[in-house]
Amino acid sequence: MKTDSKTILVTGGTGYIGSHTVVELQSQGYKVIIIDNLSNSKPFIVDQITKISGVAPSFHNIDLNNADMVKDFVDDRPEISGVIHFAAFKSVGESVHSPLKYYRNNLNSLIHLLSAFSERKTNLVFSSSCTVYGQPDQLPVTEKAAIKKAESPYGNTKQIAEEILQEVIDARKNCKAISLRYFNPVGAHESALIGELPLGVPQNLVPYFTQSAIGKRGAITIYGDNYEIFDGTCIRDYIHVVDLAKAHVEAIKLLESQTSKNYDVFNIGTGKGTSVLEMINAFQKATGVTLKYTVGSKRSGDITQVWADITKSKNTLNWKAELDLHHMMYSAWQWEQYIHQNPLLQTL
């Protein structure tokens, strides 16, 4: 079938990575159905996606924790040929304080979704994370690296979810799945109509940069500058969210092809590591805005350094990141200014 006759279900499709992925799917001719319970996103994002791509995805406020509702919804839509599953809680810090909330939501959502498709040949792309590696023994980290004890309940839900997925796919034999292990998603769509919308104080680095730069927050706190790193600050593999979104379309295409394995895993990063201080300099260079920062104590759960080996993604997924740090920072800043100029949007 041509992509314009294929329908993809995107759970969590009004979220940060989900919304960017819906835009990329629609630009490639896929029909998209979004289900989202809006626990960490806003409904106006559906209109923004429509403005960008000229196509209105079908949106349904569905909570994956309601197994019967999910089953009925899926049974009524035999046209769904693939699923991309984003819907999950994702704050490392919050998961430490509320582990049960994370195990219940993140695992029940996946289990109910898999159960709803148990009689179907529907393929699935799962939103996993580099947090499954913990602090790797070797860098860059490959997909074959040892999975270490998770540093947080959030990371553990990703590890357990990958195991559940692999065992269900092996048992079913009538469908296939791919787990994408994201590194650090940053930036926004070039239109500045969608981007990261942290609820409350941003936990992640770049949204804190942009909110500090626009005056919504005070100085940035660098969580430790005495790591055994050239400049003392942690290294991560930051990847533009649009590159990350495109990786999901390639994963759907790979599953549609005859060449994919029943279950496979791919690192989705740039293959380059950047320190916190280098990120501050990159933001200042891209935006012309000077960031104020102080140095605080290390944050519990932080690993020192990680970046991806992307050989497998390049060779098998036929994907690699194209956008650089300048695009990541500039687009994040454009989005922050757009949201600041349109405060009512978040009330919609």
Half-sphere exposure of 32 (CA within 13 A, CB side): 34
Q: Residue numbers of the site for ligand WQD (CB under 6 A)?
A: 90, 92, 129-131, 182, 184, 203-205, 208, 220-223, 234, 236, 276, 299, 302
- In the sheet with 263-268, reading across from the earlier edge strand, the strands are 58-60, 31-35, 7-11, 80-85, 123-129, 177-182, 263-268
The catalytic residue among 16, 133, 154, 208 is 154
Indicate the residue among 30 and 86 with the shorter CB distance to ligand WQD. Answer: 86
State how far Cα 218 lies from the chain centre.
Answer: 27
How remote is the C-alpha of 4 from its chain's centroid?
25
CB of 45 to ligand WQD, least distance (A): 19
Which one, 3 or 203, has the nearer CB to ligand WQD? Answer: 203
Do the strands 274-275 and 235-236 form a parallel or antiparallel pair, or are they unpaired? antiparallel
Diameter of the chain measured on Cα atoms: 56
CB of residue 175 to ligand WQD, shortest distance in Å: 24
Smaller CB distance to ligand WQD: residue 191 or 204? 204
**Are residues 49 and 194 in contact, defined by beta-carbon separation less than 8 angstroms?**
yes
* Token pair 């000229």: residue: 54
Kindly tell me which of 145 and 205 has the beta carbon lying closer to ligand WQD: 205
Nearer to ligand WQD, 177 or 276 (CB): 276
Whether 154 is catalytic is yes
Say which residues have a Cβ less than 8 Å from residue 276's Cβ, sequence separation at least 6: 205, 222, 223, 225, 233, 234
Shortest Å, Cβ 17 to ligand WQD: 9
Phi, psi (5° rounding) for residue 92? -60, -45
SS3 at position 271: coil
**Nearest approach, Cβ of 181 to ligand WQD (angstroms)?**
8
Q: Cβ 33 to ligand WQD, closest distance in Å? A: 24
Task: Identify whether the C-beta of residue 4 lies closer than 8 Å to the C-beta of residue 26.
Answer: no
Catalytic residues: 154
